[in-house]
Structure 1
Amino acid sequence: MRSVLTVTHPAAVRLLTRGRARWVLGAFLRGENSVAGAARELNLDLRLVHRDVGALLSAGLLQVVREQKRAGRAVKVYTATAPAFFVPFSATDAADFAELGGKREQLYDELLGRASLRKFEQLHHEQSGGREWGVRLYLGPEGQVQVDTSYEGAELVEAAVRYQGPVGLLLSARTALRLTEAEAEEVQIELIRLLMRLRPISVQHEQNGTGQPFLLRLGLVGVSEEEAQSLQ
């Protein structure tokens, strides 16, 4: 098992829990690297990386391992002081667990919303044929009140039963389901297996410089009856 360094010093905690510096540190986790090498790897401005390396060095997260002699000033080569780092919640200034990782969650959600809207508008423009898109209110097949969005004149069934909107590489599904715990566990296992199958494919594309970025956002959690009703 790789050695993990627990970090509690305030300066190091700040660098590891927010901002660009932690990604700069990541460029030194694989082994020795220079400031210029890290800047190329991360596609960042050399001056920004140099500043972050200085902060990481002062916080004890980076160390100089050697200097490469050349004409003029020697090039310093750095490496991370540990192969992995851990910041306990108690060492942060986060108010709760949600805040601890909340910024990254928020960035994902905001980007997913913007990208989904952009793609939907493109597909709607290409495929609507002049039809209006809007909000519908109707009774579902089991007599429940249904509110959703679709094209005017589309069959009165929800998208989960039969999707009638523009078609393309876009999926943004948000729905509340009633399941038993056993059924929910089956869904959870299926989603985990999907992620496990996709991860090595994504890594291979990253290494080969192929493919293109897509966002995949999955979630499954139990809620109260009152919370479920608030979605209607």
Structure 2
Amino acid sequence: MRESRKVLLEGTICNRKKLADNIYHIKIELDKEFPEYSYGNFVMVNLKEELSPLLPRPFSIFRAKKRSLELIFKVVGVATTLLATKPLPYPVRLWGPLGNSFPDGKDMLCIAGGLGLVPLYESIMKERYKKVFVGFRNQGEVYLLNGLLKKEAFISTDDGSYGKKGFITEFFYQCLINEKDKGTVVACGPQGFLKRLWEIEKEVKNIEIYGSFETHMACGFGVCLGCTIETPKGMVKVCSDGPVFRLKDIFGE
């Protein structure tokens, strides 16, 4: 896992598309080229014209090419509401790429829950993984699916409205039981999703799962201490020590 070179950039949201209920995809035109980044990195975005919220917000990188950056997010508060509703073009300031990344390697497994698909999508499309598992709550949340279908991803919804019915973690568990060469797993999803994967790792053995964690952040550099989480070995900062950690290091005893 490596850290990327971070820079301060000025940008303008030039395009916005609603993907599902409260889920939006935006494209930002930048004043200079976005640095090379790794899967799992994130950016801090500040709304230049707004006094509230004053502090920037973290967003996983969906895609970046030269002078453009694409983000996908769920509307959960003031900042994301503004990003989803303000007339375009709309100016923003951001810095990144920040944080560490998912491990490199071949023949890895990948599992994502909901918006956890966002930081992993590009690496899935480049066929970095031997098997891919993606879960959503219902068909209304199934976005970015056309490309994934071409990659033979295993897809489920909690209510069975698309793909297999059930939690993706349980289908993943059944796969691991029959998998001879388990190896490394990369994962991204809600906290409960990652905790369940840790339970699976303890039971199945011979696997090592790396998960991307989300918390509230205010700076992105590890200064404000707003994103610290407790581990068996002490506190860690998600923004500067992560956001990618071995599940063993976070949940292990």
TM-score bracket for this pair, using the shorter chain length: under 0.3
Which protein is bigger by CA-based radius of gyration? 1
**Quick check: which one's strand share is greater?**
2
**Higher normalized contact order (CA 8 Å, seq sep 6+, divided by chain length):** 2
**Quick check: which one's helix share is greater?**
1
TM-score (norm 1): 0.21
